[in-house]
């Protein structure tokens, strides 16, 4: 076979179709890539509890990157260890305090598989229920006692830039933040210096695969560093402009099996 590559896959908008499933074509190509010796991993902003089903569906045996690099572990090898880099609980509470001066709908803090909601919101709780996390509702300044893996500020589109500017002005040295695309206008916060590339590098080092044999796919703001890091940083056709501008290549959309088409051609898999 050709030299072993590491294939790092974002989930939403990349590996997953809009209905949150993996197409049969994409599964077939990924299986073929693994059969000939390549390694495949998931690198997502989701927590493990809401990405675990895809890990098992693809029958992976690699580390997984969750929370955009704030939590990295190997689901099938506990001896590999777990890399958890949460925010300081004091910083988290400072952020909640600062948000009281801005317009927002809710603030959510996640501590691995525990979810804290600043305000009770049935719709959001339903979204976050996957994997049956322990849910706590109430003022985070009073109820959040552990350092959160990530925080989410749900606001309206017109307030996103103002809140993000404040976060940059006050907490730039201790946090990194990004915004989600529509339909949810959410600011996501994790510890400074973390991103998907950090997690992918940990996995690549473990698998002894050099940077020039890493293929990464993504479509959103949180994929930028990973695509820059990978030798083959591939933007999805449905990706945002900033992702396409830094990508080394652009493939078809997630609805057009962009991951499968690109891998089949690059790795000469002859699976399609």
Active-site annotation, residues? 10
Number of H-type helices and E-type strands within the chain: 10, 14
Please tell me the distance from the alpha carbon of residue 99 to that of residue 95, in angstroms, as a whole number.
Answer: 6
- Do the beta carbons of residue 156 and residue 103 sit within 8 Å? yes
Tokens linked to 206:
């473990």
Q: What DSSP assignment string belongs to 151-186?
A: EEEE--HHHHHHHHHHHHHHHTTTEEEEEPPTT--E
Tokens linked to 68:
């955009």
What are the Cα distances from residue 110, in Å, to 145, 149, 200, 209?
11, 6, 22, 32
The DSSP symbol for 140 reads H
Tokens linked to 57:
């569906």
Tokens linked to 140:
């985070």
Termini Cα distance of the chain: 18
């Amino acid at each position: 076979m050709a030299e072993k590559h590491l294939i790092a896959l974002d989930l939403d908008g990349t590996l997953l179709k809009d209905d949150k499933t993996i197409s049969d074509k994409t599964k077939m190509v990924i299986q073929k890539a693994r059969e000939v010796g390549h390694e495949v991993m998931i690198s997502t902003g989701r927590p493990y509890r809401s990405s675990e089903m895809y890990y098992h569906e693809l029958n992976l045996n690699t580390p997984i990157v969750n929370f955009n690099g704030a939590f990295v572990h190997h689901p099938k090898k506990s001896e590999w260890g777990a890399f958890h880099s949460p925010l300081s609980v004091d910083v988290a509470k400072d952020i909640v305090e600062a948000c009281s001066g801005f317009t927002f709908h809710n603030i959510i803090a996640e501590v691995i598989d525990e979810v804290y909601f600043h305000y009770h919101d049935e719709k959001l709780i339903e979204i976050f229920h996957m994997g049956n996390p322990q849910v706590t509702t109430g003022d985070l300044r009073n109820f959040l006692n552990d350092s959160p893996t990530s925080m989410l500020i749900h606001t309206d589109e017109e307030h996103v830039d103002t809140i993000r500017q404040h976060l940059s002005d006050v907490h730039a040295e201790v946090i990194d933040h990004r915004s989600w695309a529509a339909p949810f206008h959410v600011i996501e916060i994790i510890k400074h210096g973390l991103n998907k590339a950090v997690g992918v590098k940990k996995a690549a080092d473990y698998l002894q695969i050099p940077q020039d044999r890493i293929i990464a796919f993504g479509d959103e703001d949180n994929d930028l560093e990973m695509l820059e890091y990978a030798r083959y940083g591939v933007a999805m056709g449905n990706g945002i402009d900033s992702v396409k501008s830094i990508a080394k290549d652009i493939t078809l959309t997630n609805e057009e099996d962009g991951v499968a088409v690109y891998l089949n051609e690059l790795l000469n898999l002859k699976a399609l």
